[in-house]
Amino acid sequence: MNKLGFLVVWLGLGSTMVAAQSTDFKKMEDAQAFVEKLQIKMGQSASMKANFVQTKHLSALSEDIEIKGEVFYRQPSNLRWEYTEPIRYVMVMTKGVVYINDEGNVQKFKTSSNKVFKQINDMMVGSLNGALLANEDFDKEFFKNKQYYKTVLIPKNKDMRQYVSRMEILFDVKSLDVQEVRLIEETGDYTAIQLEGLSYNESIPDEKFMVR
């Protein structure tokens, strides 16, 4: 797998999310207050784990592709995406290194080896810990309806936009929990990741961030 190959997996593996398609969002009047509230919440969260449903929508296909799994995050930048149904695939990011276990075939590489690759890593981690909202590599817009805050992030790097033209993150208005992350390509195809059963500050063993 080449150094950007894992992105193909992350974007290509795949509940169409009705909430994300809602058209009743209005531009947020006080985006800075929202960002500050979110940063306080995330600053109090040493860890997070959740189940997820990842859906890949391709205009060329009549049906969306759906895959289920678990995600684990622990401060400052330890992340594990584990796909469990209908395939088994593990991706771990820790200490600047990405580890991939594809049915027993383990590979690793450094995130610092490529600027675009590092941005992808920052995007994945930052979508869960809120750091992405302060990342200067993206232009940002903020919206709100009765149920959700929506943040739209557009990569400034043109090479990055070849993979993700924009990213949308939905946060619950009451809890500020991440509800969905949507990665949209220039073609209009997208990958939607819906998080379920989020829990914070539970002990996550070091073994979760190891791949053998």
pLDDT in tens, 119-167: 776 777 777 777 788 888 899 999 999 999 999 999 898 888 888 899 9
Please give the structure tokens belonging to residue 202: 């539970």
For position 117, what pLDDT does the model report? 64
Q: Provide the domain limits for residue 98.
A: 5-209
Q: Is the pLDDT assigned to residue 175 strictly greater than 50?
A: yes
The overall pTM is greater than 0.75:
yes
Residue 53, phi-psi category: left (phi > 0), alpha (psi -120 to 50), beta (remainder) = beta
Number of domains making up the chain: 1
Q: pLDDT tens digits for 66-85?
A: 999 999 999 888 999 999 98
For position 13, what pLDDT does the model report? 42
For position 95, what pLDDT does the model report? 86
1 vs 189: which has the higher pLDDT: 189
Q: Is the pLDDT assigned to residue 14 strictly greater than 50?
A: no
Q: pLDDT tens digits for 23-34?
A: 689 999 999 999
CA 68-74-77 angle, to 5 degrees, is: 100
DSSP per-residue codes, 76-135: TTEEEEEEEESS-EEEEEETTEEEEEETTEEEEEEGGG-HHHHHHHHHHHHHHHSGGGG-
* Residue found under tokens 């997996």: 9
Of the listed ranges 38-42, 127-131, 152-156, 172-176, the least confidently predicted one is: 127-131
Q: By the 8 A CB rule, do 22 and 168 touch?
A: no
For position 139, what pLDDT does the model report? 94
Residue 47: band (very low, low, confident or very high) from pLDDT cuts 50, 70, 90: very high
The CATH number linked to 89 is 2.50.20.10
Q: Is the pLDDT assigned to residue 16 strictly greater than 60?
A: no
Q: Is the pLDDT assigned to residue 108 strictly greater than 60?
A: yes
For the chain, percent of residues with pLDDT exceeding 70: 86
